Chain A
Amino acid sequence: MKDLKYRAYVKRTPYLFLAPYFCLVCIFFIYPLISAFLLSFQQTNGPKSKAFVGLSNYSFVLTDPDFHKAVKNTAIYAVFSIFLQLPISLGLAMLLNTAKDKTKGFFRLIIFSPNLVGQIFVGVIFSVLFVPRYGLFNRFMQSLIYWGLENRWLENPTLVLPAVIITALWMYVGFNMIYFLAGLQSVDKSLVEAARIDGANPWQVFWNVTLPAIKPVATFVVVMSTIGSFQLFELPFSLLKGEFGPSSSGLFIVSYLYQMAFRAGDLGTGAAVGWILTLMIMIISLTQIKMSGTLEEGK
């Protein structure tokens, strides 16, 4: 009889290995997910007051100018993190790629180091660096381009978003650089040499050889950055000391959710925001994956 059990045992094994995941995901993901879904059609206030409001939460959020602002800020941040942060990361990676191993390790260590500091710490540190007149950043700008000493980065609605972008730039450039470095290692050197012999200039080599070769990595980084951008919360939260900036200039989608659910106490609307955000992230990242055409390769 013991023998007969062996087949069943082998068949069962993957489920056993996945059992912790199944258990945890049911308890801490699916169940809350369902609660959050039901919640998004309700208004709640304390244990006694609960009311079904249909799609009212969704329609409110979608027509709320604050939500529009949050979406706009998030989109701007996402665009900057893709079109400013990633090119800088790639540029740094390319500068480093051909360096000697030791040099490479040294610069990699330095440029990555901001990632060791938690967002909550970085936020507070930069809130001091951005202080008008005394802050390190303001002084640096002043001595470099004679501008910005008195800039109220965190109080001026037009400067809050740039401040968040600059802080994020400092934090994340190194992280993406590591991915790009790995991607560049996989570029076939003989291909580059062949292109050179064919008379391609460095720009053409980059465009026609390097870029296609790092496409899978680039797609990965772009998708991860976008998802990260849409989930941005702790960094601006601590940078702006738990507020959302003047005129909500530092309001992002997740901060809007947080504010709705935990400040205004409207958990139902918060849940609705969560679902809208989830939908947005899925659509955008799937579009990105589709566009880059690496869906099939990407397993």
Chain B
Amino acid sequence: MAKVFLKDVQKVYDNGFAAVKGASLDIADKEFMVIVGPSGCGKTTTLRMIAGLEEISGGTITIGSRVVNDVPPKDRDIAMVFQNYALYPHMTVFQNLAFSLKLRKYPKAEIKKRVSEVAEMLDISSQLDKKPKALSGGQRQRVALGRAIVRNPAAFLFDEPLSNLDAKLRVTTRAELKALHRRLNTTSIYVTHDQAEAMTLGDRICVMYNGEIQQVAAPMEVYDKPVNRFVAGFLGTPPMNFLKGKISSSDGKNVFILTDGDIVELKNDNGQLKSYMEKEMVLGVRPEHFTVEPFAGQSNNGIKSQVNVVEPLGDRKDVYMSSRSGQKFIANLDPHTAIDVDHQVTMYIDINKAHIFEPGETGKNITISKN
């Protein structure tokens, strides 16, 4: 019922700046879709176009079965949670929650019933008579949520709703949000620049960059099979390492020769490497795919490097290294690994999990099969 379709949606501002360049996205009913990307990538603009707060320059947006391009926000049957909560400061919490119902001329008793239900659900029943000023950040956040829930809309739109909370609260609220979605089962579109939120919350993730949708898929798929270098680098902390070099073949085997001379043997060639022979490419390796010991059967893929910084984090150890030619990368090692600053070590790559990208910011990932 409340599917949301975006078809070639564009946003071009009066000054000629194209914020969104033809985004197409299908969001299924009851799905939790997270749109993620760095600031300025057009994700908020996309959300605001769905909400009707921003005029659509091209394409169509469909909510349910209705094209809503020219439907006023109030008639789109959506609710939105804002980054700054946008609670009405002159109204009490109750009035804030009841406002939209009042405008829709619900009977008083019905309003009261709904508001108290929602307040109960969000554990803010005792705050109903207070003004937003008197609430803590977390409580305000709940009121903002409540204001969206109380209307029982076809879709929730979240615009970075957690960014104003402190780190600890953000994590707990994140979990609550997920539980809430499971309970309400309403289509949700959630915009964030925080990849952790995206990974944890989304049924599917939509990664945007430069006004374009890069990849839409389930979180783990995006993590494991990023379509391009941008998506790969965006998800994961510390981010994926990119090492420059070129593909070559030696002894009948495909190898990746790093600029500093180290050679990494590549595996499972489906034949797609052939066209990239002797071309400048980028090898993408996630930090956790480095080890100090060679992997079984992969003896010939070490990089001679120097340790610059070691950050023991308890559950793991982040090691900042540079190769001989000065390419920097981070390895994520077992916390008990004996490694220290200024050590010269050879780092081994789990080549099965490495990716090769075309050069450039959004260089295509050539190691995942196209289908």
A interface residues, Cβ below 8 angstroms from B: 3-7, 9-10
Contact = CB atoms under 8 A, between A and B. Distances in A.
B71 A6 contact: yes
B361 interface: no
A212 B38 CA distance: 39
Interface string B249-274: 00000000000000000000000000
A253 to B, nearest CB: 44
A3 B55 contact: no
Nearest to B70: A3
Contacts of B72: 6, 9-10
Given A3-B69, A6-B70, A6-B72, 9 more contacts: A3-B70, A3-B71, A4-B70, A5-B70, A6-B71, A7-B55, A7-B70, A9-B72, A10-B72
A6 B72 CA distance: 6
A148 to B, nearest CB: 56
Interface in B65-95: 69-72
Contacts of B70: 3-7
Nearest to A5: B70
At the interface, is chain A mostly helix, strand, loop or mixed?
helix
Q: Max chain A CB contacts within 10 Å: which of B55, B69, B72? A: B72
Nearest to A9: B72
A223 B56 CA distance: 44
A1 to B, nearest CB: 10
A3 B69 CA distance: 8
9 contacts: A3-B69, A3-B70, A3-B71, A5-B70, A6-B71, A6-B72, A7-B55, A7-B70, A10-B72
A4 B72 CA distance: 9
Contacts of A5: 70
Contacts of B55: 7
Interface in B315-358: none
Contacts of A9: 72
A10 B53 CA distance: 10
Contacts of B69: 3
A7 B71 CA distance: 8
Contacts of B71: 3, 6
Nearest to B73: A6
A86 B70 CA distance: 55
A196 B69 CA distance: 61
A13 B266 CA distance: 63
Contacts of A4: 70
Nearest to A1: B70
A91 B321 CA distance: 64
Point out which of A4, A6, A10 has the most chain B C-beta atoms below 10 A from its C-beta: A6
B17 to A, nearest CB: 20
B98 to A, nearest CB: 25
A6 B55 CA distance: 11
A228 B72 CA distance: 46
A4 B69 CA distance: 8
B72 to A, nearest CB: 5
In the A-B complex, the 4 residue pairs with the closest CB atoms: A3-B70, A6-B72, A4-B70, A3-B71
A7 B57 CA distance: 12
A3 B63 CA distance: 14
B12 to A, nearest CB: 15
Nearest to B56: A7
Nearest to B52: A6
A5 B71 CA distance: 9
A120 B72 CA distance: 53
A275 to B, nearest CB: 37
Nearest to A4: B70
Contacts of A3: 69-71
Contacts of A10: 72
A244 to B, nearest CB: 52
Nearest to B74: A6
Nearest to A3: B70
Contacts of A6: 70-72
A7 B70 CA distance: 6
B54 to A, nearest CB: 11
A7 B53 CA distance: 11
A3 B70 CA distance: 5
A13 to B, nearest CB: 11
B251 to A, nearest CB: 66
A5 B72 CA distance: 9
A4 B70 CA distance: 5
